[in-house]
Amino acid sequence: MGSSCSRSEKEGHDHVGEALKTNPLEKTHSKIVKRHQTYPHTARPADAFHSKRMETPYDTVAALDAIVDARARNPAKADVKRPEEDGKTAFGRMKDVAEYYAHREELQRHEDVLSFDFRCKMKASQRERHANLILQKLRTRDEQRYREAPKRIGYGGQEHGCFAGDRFLTNRTLIEQMDLFRVARRLPKGAHLHIHFNACLLPSVLLNIAKGMDRMFITSNIPLVAADDYISFRRCEIQFKILSEENEKPGNLFSAAYEKDQTMPFQEFIRRFPQELGPVDDYLIGKVVFQEGEANGSLQTAHGAWEKFNGKTRMMKGLFNYETAYRRYTQALLQDFIDDNIQYAEIRPNFMDTNQLWSDDGKRRINNEGIMEIIMQEYDRFQKKTHGYFGGLKIIYCTPRSFSNDQVRFALDQCLEFKQRWPTWIAGFDLVGEEGMGSPLKQFVPEFLAFRKKCEEADVSIPFLFHCGETQEWGTDTDANLLDALLTGAKRIGHGFALAAHPYIMAHMKKQNICLEVCPISNEILGLANRMMGHTMYSLLANDVHCTVNSDNGTMFQ
């Protein structure tokens, strides 16, 4: 985008230069007035080439009208007439208010035909229309419930009423009481396409497994003491680790003499946890999941939320990276999909050459092949138990975007190896982690090209399913990841929040049927959208971009 902007600016300057050469009036003028004042866009209406170029954007109206015509003809004969003239001309010769409203209605109909749900509405059966009526009634009732909920007190005692479009963490408990939520839980969802394998389930599942592990230890970066009014309990970063005896560094987290990363058996931590702070489970779960003030605080930023997110990920990692937890977690996740009426899922585990999955005694490392085998074995076991109830599971090979080019090359090669070994399991390749921290996709183009060539030679297809556009930036390398996802032929993109600001890339993505894995709650908590109703998803849908809705990291978002 940067280069195309600067190109048009350059062309603009050349054009003005041309005009100055041929227009003696301008030439004289430029001697007495500073040069930059001589070439505003409207300076020379007689310049046909210039004015034609300035009007070019409005040609998109004709393109949209052609789509409206085709759609109105096709699924069901919607009564749409193409306006014969633009609104400005029409308004000038309107006889009365009735004519104004007729014109208005026609314009609105055009807008409706272009909307993403037009085909659904037009093709809906009688039963579907009836179901929609029920949903609308439930929605009205739910909205009343929001209005009746206790008001929240803000600055200077101002009372703030509740509403459905408020922040997720603000509304979470209310949402669970709503009829629409109950219906939504039971509705068939089809596919869940964007879910990180280390953060899909409630943390209590992993904490309960950890409690039964003899070799599970807990560490902190600071001592947890009562002397500071328990502030250290809130500030500390806690981690869990499965450790063999030789890797223990015994210490007491509740003593002022505790040193960073000393280890304490988890079972002992539970026994000695101060009773004044309430149940130990509540404390630990409260550290893993985002709290309302943590995500929505007025000083919080997208980067600050990511810092918190990374700390929570490190805490989750130890609760998850040993064989028993990994196996039970896989089973519980499949059950969770069924409970949420999801039929098919593509999960994103992180694969690294320095892998950190341990045997339960902490003595043996399980490599990436071992991780694949555990997931496949547990899936088969689950399917046997449930008589093949679940529709299907695939794996998206993920590796951190913060890795070096060599590490990414290793990951791409291993992804190809896995695809050849387990062709029905590997669904694609992705790079994960905070986009704004550098390592844009363009940095790995040589590796991507080599990978594509190897895949062609091996006659296998592994689509790129890149995280990109998970940013509010505009015109930076981070933002340009959308461009590289398009150029490298991505089949779907994770998030695409920034896509609405890039009409040309958006048009290409629509043309190539690239689908967005939108994660609205994640985007709100990680600071991209202030509130759900400000999410770019609505703009993307209005532009008829293919979107799916996903959870991303449900564990941490409560």
Centre a 10 Å sphere on the Cβ of residue 21 and count the other Cβ atoms it contains: 10
CA distances from 99 to 61, 65, 78, 279 (A): 22, 21, 21, 69
Alpha helices, DSSP H, located in 340-466: 368-385, 405-421, 445-458
Residue 552 as a binder of Zn ion (CB under 5 A): the answer is yes
524 vs 552, which CB is nearer to Zn ion? Answer: 552
Q: Do 195 and 554 contact (CB within 8 A), yes or no? A: yes
Centre a 10 Å sphere on the Cβ of residue 496 and count the other Cβ atoms it contains: 32
Strand, helix or coil at 220?
A: strand
Instruction: Point out the residue whose Cβ comes nearest to Zn ion.
Output: 552
Residue 166 as a binder of Zn ion (CB under 5 A): the answer is no
What single string gives the DSSP state of each residue in 338-353? HHTTEEEEEEE-B--S
357 vs 398, which CB is nearer to Zn ion? Answer: 398
Burial code of 157-193, b = ≥16 C-beta within 10 A, e = fewer? eeeeebebebbbbbbeebbeebeeeeeeeeeebebbb
Residue with tokens 């979107």: 547
Binding window for Zn ion (CB under 5 A); candidates: 79-87, 397-405, 435-443, 545-553: 545-553
- β-sheet bridge partners, residue 242: 216
CB of 551 to Zn ion, least distance (A): 9
Residues with Cβ < 8 Å from 507, sequence gap 6 or more? none
Contact string (CB under 5 A) for Zn ion, positions 345-364, x = contact? --------------------
Give the residue among 556, 557, 555, 548 at the shortest CA–CA distance from 194: 548
430 vs 484, which CB is nearer to Zn ion? Answer: 430
477 vs 552, which CB is nearer to Zn ion? Answer: 552
CB of 430 to Zn ion, least distance (A): 8
Contact string (CB under 5 A) for Zn ion, positions 209-248, x = contact? ----------------------------------------
Q: Do 190 and 546 contact (CB within 8 A), yes or no? A: no
Angle, to 10 degrees, between the axis of helix 323-339 and the axis of helix 302-320? Answer: 120
251 vs 496, which CB is nearer to Zn ion? Answer: 496
CB of 522 to Zn ion, least distance (A): 7
CB of 168 to Zn ion, least distance (A): 16
Angle at 225 between CA 221 and CA 229, to 5 degrees: 115
CB of 374 to Zn ion, least distance (A): 22
Give the residue among 431, 394, 433, 387 at the shortest CA–CA distance from 553: 433
166 vs 552, which CB is nearer to Zn ion? Answer: 552
CB of 396 to Zn ion, least distance (A): 10
**Would you state the structure tokens that stand for residue 401, as one six-digit string?**
């975007």
CB of 196 to Zn ion, least distance (A): 6
329 vs 466, which CB is nearer to Zn ion? Answer: 466
288 vs 519, which CB is nearer to Zn ion? Answer: 519
CB of 490 to Zn ion, least distance (A): 14
CB of 413 to Zn ion, least distance (A): 23
Q: Do 114 and 68 contact (CB within 8 A), yes or no? A: yes
CB of 82 to Zn ion, least distance (A): 42
Residues in the chain: 558
**Would you state the structure tokens that stand for residue 437, as one six-digit string?**
């921290």
50 vs 312, which CB is nearer to Zn ion? Answer: 312
113 vs 493, which CB is nearer to Zn ion? Answer: 493
Q: Looking at 81-189, which runs of residues are DSSP E strands?
A: 152-153, 159-160
336 vs 552, which CB is nearer to Zn ion? Answer: 552
Residue with tokens 């908590």: 525
Q: Do 206 and 329 contact (CB within 8 A), yes or no? A: yes
Q: Do 471 and 401 contact (CB within 8 A), yes or no? A: no
Binding window for Zn ion (CB under 5 A); candidates: 262-270, 410-418, 433-441, 550-558: 550-558
CB of 470 to Zn ion, least distance (A): 8
Residue 517 as a binder of Zn ion (CB under 5 A): the answer is no
Kindly state the number of chain residues that form the binding site for Zn ion, as judged by CB under 5 A: 1
Site residues, Zn ion (CB under 5 A): 552
